[in-house]
């Protein structure tokens, strides 16, 4: 999953001459805040915003791009003209959207942090993103309607019990689709699951990752249980729905994250709901287990969770599914 060239060039231009050690210190402080659920902790200057962008923007972009690709797969005729990015931060989700749908004519980024809004605006201008409008506000602010409404890594700042209410409020602004993305942790999934339940009750249809509108077959763990570790991770009934996207690291990204490998695996949970019912089939919920006799897939569909074994000797079926991976439709 490659970062857009124009975005890379815009960030490089803004980073020119800035001491990397100070950026690394700021990034470490903000990473600690991110793990606590405060995604904009301590961001008050342009240098803080740049450090945050280098540390988190690639992973956020990669997760959003992967989710949009799955939306396009199930709704190829959906081409949004107007996008609302709530809690936009540096604008990573908006960049992923205009990359997925180049004909987007209007992008509205809503964020409460002045430093992040200023950086997002500079990056959008440098990348010639069309029709960008920056709004100061948060999840409680009035929101304009848009064909596609995005909220990536935003619900993490809220108590789990508020996720459903916030999601249904966002849904009111979505004329076509609403996309929610959270960290791929038990706590992140707990918020996504609460939002899913509330959105289905409000009349939304799940387009991805689920292929159905039935109750989620994964109990998961509440945010409180996830944080306390009071539920055994070995209990299969407490599994959580999450996915992974690999992305390359730049030299600055490795420095700011004190990383020693040239790639990062971003784990995320997500939900896409639409105004029309579109999903079908089954979703692969884990890396397929490969053995000499064949492949075993962990699947979720309208019947619930189950495994599907495809024997290597069944050459036609094996050839059809052998390249399917974690997160794909089966």
CA proximity to 1, closest of 247, 292, 213: 247
Please give the residue that has the higher pLDDT: either 53 or 231. 53
Please give the residue that has the higher pLDDT: either 2 or 310. 310
pLDDT beyond 80 at 242: yes
pLDDT beyond 80 at 131: yes
Look at the block and give the residue holding tokens 């081409």. Answer: 79
SS3 312: coil
**Pairwise CA distance, residues 96 & 61, whole Å:** 6
pLDDT beyond 60 at 228: no
State mean pLDDT over 261-284: 93
5-280 to CATH, choices 3.40.50.620, 3.40.50.10320, 3.40.50.150, 2.30.30.230 = 3.40.50.150
pLDDT beyond 80 at 219: no
pLDDT beyond 80 at 253: no
State mean pLDDT over 128-133: 91
Range of lowest pLDDT (17-31, 158-172, 222-236, 292-306): 222-236
Contact 213, 200 (CB under 8 A): yes
Residue 2 has a pLDDT of 81
Please give the residue that has the higher pLDDT: either 205 or 253. 205
State mean pLDDT over 126-143: 93
**Pairwise CA distance, residues 62 & 52, whole Å:** 15
Range of lowest pLDDT (100-114, 121-135, 247-261): 247-261
Instruction: Give the global pTM.
Output: 0.90
* Tens digit of each residue's pLDDT (9 = 90 or more) over 40-56: 557 888 888 998 898 88
Those residues whose C-beta lies under 8 Å from the C-beta of residue 210, and which sit 6 or more positions away, are: 196, 216, 271, 279, 283, 300
pLDDT beyond 90 at 240: yes
pLDDT beyond 70 at 192: yes
Residue 34 has a pLDDT of 60
pLDDT band, very low/low/confident/very high, at 39 (cuts 50, 70, 90): low
**Pairwise CA distance, residues 216 & 280, whole Å:** 15
Residue 231 has a pLDDT of 42
**By percentage, how much of the chain surpasses pLDDT 90?**
70
SS3 content of the chain, % helix, strand, coil (to 5): 40, 25, 35
Please give the residue that has the higher pLDDT: either 324 or 238. 324
Residue 232 has a pLDDT of 44
State mean pLDDT over 23-44: 69
Residue 18 has a pLDDT of 77
pLDDT band, very low/low/confident/very high, at 27 (cuts 50, 70, 90): confident
């Amino acid at each position: 999953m490659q970062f857009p060239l124009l975005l890379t060039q815009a960030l490089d231009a803004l980073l020119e001459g800035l001491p990397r050690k100070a950026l690394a210190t700021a990034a470490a402080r903000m990473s600690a805040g991110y793990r606590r659920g405060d995604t904009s902790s301590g961001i008050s200057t342009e240098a803080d915003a740049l450090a945050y962008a280098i540390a988190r923007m690639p992973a956020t972009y990669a997760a959003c791009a992967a989710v949009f690709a799955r939306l396009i797969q199930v709704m190829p005729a959906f081409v949004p003209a107007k996008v609302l990015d709530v809690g936009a931060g540096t604008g990573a989700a908006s960049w992923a959207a205009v990359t997925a749908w180049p004909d987007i004519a209007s992008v509205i980024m809503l964020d409460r942090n002045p430093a992040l809004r200023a950086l997002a605006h500079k990056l959008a201008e440098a990348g010639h993103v069309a029709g960008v409008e920056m709004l100061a506000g948060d999840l409680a602010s009035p929101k304009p309607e848009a064909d596609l409404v995005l909220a990536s890594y935003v619900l993490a700042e809220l108590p789990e019990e508020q996720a459903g209410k916030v999601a249904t409020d966002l849904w009111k602004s979505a004329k076509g689709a609403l996309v929610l993305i959270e960290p791929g942790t038990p706590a992140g999934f707990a918020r996504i699951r609460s939002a899913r339940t509330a959105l289905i009750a409000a009349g939304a249809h799940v387009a991805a990752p689920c292929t159905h509108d039935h109750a989620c077959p994964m109990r998961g763990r509440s945010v409180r249980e996830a944080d306390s570790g009071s539920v055994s991770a070995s209990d299969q009934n407490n599994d959580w729905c999450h996915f992974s996207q690999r992305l390359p690291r730049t030299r600055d990204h490795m420095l700011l994250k004190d990383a020693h490998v040239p790639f990062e695996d971003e784990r995320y949970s997500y939900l896409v709901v639409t105004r029309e019912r579109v999903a079908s089939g089954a979703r692969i919920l884990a890396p397929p287990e490969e053995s000499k006799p064949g492949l075993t897939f962990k699947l979720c569909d309208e019947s619930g969770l189950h495994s599907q074994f495809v024997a290597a000797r069944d050459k036609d079926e094996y050839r059809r599914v052998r390249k399917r991976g974690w997160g794909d439709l089966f």
